[in-house]
């Protein structure tokens, strides 16, 4: 999906004698090396590097100008490759979708798949969810952060045809709890604005549930999409 780089160095940003300005995030400078040997340095929040456990020697890519860890792994190719959706169409389905199913590794080895509202950030290649602070889903993620998320879109019937056409997308990746309260509020606001009729209702709901909301962030590692005709 993106150009993947090798993380060559991670250095603390030099703030001089004055230190980190009040209210600012502690930043690092990350040196990346492309396949052709070309190098570039990008800034990144130290807290985000720790959250994604990015270290020197790892692989990373840039999404929306932000550094993301690239997980090395093999995903199965689609068997019916002629039905495969291009990446742009996969992203379009995720943007348009109203609800999807998050699948995690549940209790006693059983899969646990739960329908959820969500917000997809196309630039960052991340999917965000919100819900309760505890439960089956949260316990499952604490044990295994590898998940998948599926969205299905009905394209309807073409003129003169009786069968429906469907598009489905599965996003594979790793998920984490969002611990920062300001970030949680912003994610909840974006999810609310997607579903609520006006911002005033969103802010009212946010104020009432601020301390009881738990947000999750899914970093997409792999996308698979398919177009199917019911015939």
Report whether 3 contacts 61 (CB < 8 A). yes
- Return the CATH superfamily for domain 81-229: Electron Transport, Fmn-binding Protein; Chain A (2.30.110.10)
The DSSP annotation for 59-88 comes to EEEEETTEEEEEPP---PPPSSGGGBPPHH
Q: What is the mean pLDDT of residues 24-47?
A: 90
Q: Using an 8 Å Cβ cutoff, are 32 and 39 in contact?
A: yes
DSSP E strand boundaries for 3-125: 4-12, 27-33, 39-45, 59-63, 66-70, 100-105, 111-116, 119-121
The percent of residues above 90 in pLDDT, for the chain, comes to 46
CB within 8 A of 176, min separation 6: which ones?
Answer: 51, 52, 141, 145, 216, 217, 219
More confident residue, 205 or 175: 175
pLDDT, position 18: 75
Q: Output the pLDDT for position 64.
A: 65
Residue 41: its pLDDT value, please?
93
pLDDT at position 104, please? 97
- In the prediction, which pLDDT does 73 show? 62
Task: Give the pLDDT of residue 162.
Answer: 85
How many whole angstroms separate alpha carbon 69 and alpha carbon 89?
23
Q: Name which residue leads in pLDDT, 197 or 163.
A: 197
Confidence of residue 81 (pLDDT cuts 50, 70, 90): confident
Predicted confidence band of residue 95 (pLDDT cuts 50, 70, 90) = very high
CATH topology of domain 4-70: OB fold (Dihydrolipoamide Acetyltransferase, E2P) (2.40.50)
CA dist., res. 31 & res. 14, Å (int): 15
pLDDT digits over 206-229, tens only?
888 777 889 999 999 888 999 888
Report the percent of the chain where pLDDT is more than 70: 96
Q: How far apart are CA 211 and CA 205, in angstroms?
A: 11
Strand, helix or coil for residue 205: helix
Q: For 153-182, what is each residue's pLDDT tens digit?
A: 988 888 888 888 889 999 999 999 998 888
pLDDT at residue 2 in the model: 58
Q: What is the mean pLDDT of residues 129-133?
A: 90
pLDDT at site 74: 62
66 touches 43 (CB < 8 A): no
- Residue ranges of domains in the chain: 4-70, 81-229
pTM above 0.75, yes or no: no
């Amino acid at each position: 999906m993106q150009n993947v780089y090798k993380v060559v160095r991670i250095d603390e940003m030099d703030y001089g004698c004055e230190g980190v300005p009040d209210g600012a995030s502690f930043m690092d400078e990350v040196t990346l090396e492309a396949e052709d040997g070309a190098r570039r340095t990008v800034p990144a929040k130290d807290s985000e590097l720790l959250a994604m456990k990015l270290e020197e020697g790892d692989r990373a890519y840039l999404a929306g100008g932000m550094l993301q860890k690239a997980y090395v792994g093999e995903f199965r190719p689609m068997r019916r490759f002629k039905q495969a959706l291009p990446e742009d169409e996969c992203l379009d389905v995720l943007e348009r979708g109203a609800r999807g199913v998050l699948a995690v590794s549940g209790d006693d080895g059983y899969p646990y798949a739960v329908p959820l509202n969500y917000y997809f950030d196309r630039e960052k290649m991340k999917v965000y969810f919100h819900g309760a602070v505890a439960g089956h889903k949260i316990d499952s993620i604490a044990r295994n952060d590898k998940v998948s998320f599926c969205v299905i879109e009905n394209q309807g019937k073409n003129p003169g045809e009786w069968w429906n056409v469907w598009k489905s997308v599965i996003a594979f990746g790793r998920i984490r709890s969002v611990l920062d309260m300001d970030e949680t509020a912003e994610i909840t606001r974006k999810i609310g604005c997607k579903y609520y009729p006006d911002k005033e209702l969103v802010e009212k709901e946010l104020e009432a549930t601020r301390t009881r909301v738990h947000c999750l962030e899914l970093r997409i590692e792999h996308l698979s999409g398919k177009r199917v005709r019911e015939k």
